[in-house]
Structure 1
Amino acid sequence: MILSIDEIRDKIRPICEKYKIEKVWLFGSYARGEAREDSDVDFHMEVPKGIGLFGLGGIYADLEEALGKEIDLITRLPEENKIFKKYVEREEILIYDRQREGCADPANYRKAL
C-alpha cells in the first residue's frame, strides 16, 4: 500500500503527541512522490532532550505499527556527513509541528531546517 502524505501525517499525529515530538519531516521516496509498494518511510524528527534509547525504540515501533511499513528514523542530521545532510534538507517536507499541532495546509509543507 502506498500512503499519501496526508495519511502519513494523520497516522503519526497521535504518536507525536504521545512522545512530545517537536517536529517531523518526511524525506526520501515519499517526499519526492516516488514511493512504491515496497518503499520504507523516512523520517527526520526533533525529539525531546533526554528521550533515551527506550523512548526512541518506542517511537520506532509505534510508527511501524501505525503505518504498516518499515521506517527509517533520524533524530539529527550529521554534520560530518555533509552530502547526506544536504540531500535530506533539499527534499524534506515538514509534516508535523507541535507548536502548530500539525501542518494542515499542504501548500506550506515544504520547510527548510
Structure 2
Amino acid sequence: MKKLTNLYANKSRFRVMFLKYQLFTIKHKSRSVSEYLQELKGIANELSIIDTPFQDDDIVIRALLGISPECKELAIAIRARKNPISFEELHDKLVAYETYLKHEEKAT
C-alpha cells in the first residue's frame, strides 16, 4: 500500500510542478488575448482540481506578466488601480483593448 501511495503521490507532485511551470512561463505571443487567457485559466483550474488553487489576484498578476507588448499600456493602468480586478473583468478589458487596437490598425 505504501508503494502505491508513493507512486501516485510522486506523479501527482510532478503534475503540480509541471502545471505551475506552464503557468509561470505562458506568454501571450501571437495568439488572441482570449486564447491566451483561456489557456491560463485552464491551467489554474487544473491546479485547483488537484488541491493547489491560485487566488484570483495571482492569476491576474500572472496574466499581466505574460501579456504582449501591444497591451502593456492597459496592463500598467490595471496595476495602478486602487481596487483589485477580477480575472473576468481583466478578460473583458483586454479583449476590448485588443479589438480597439485592431480597429486602429485597420484605420491607419
**TM-score (ref. length: structure 1):** 0.26
For normalisation by structure 2, the TM-score amounts to 0.27
Larger RCO (CA within 8 A; separation ≥ 6): 1
Greater fraction of residues in strand: 1
The structure with the largest alpha-carbon Rg is 2
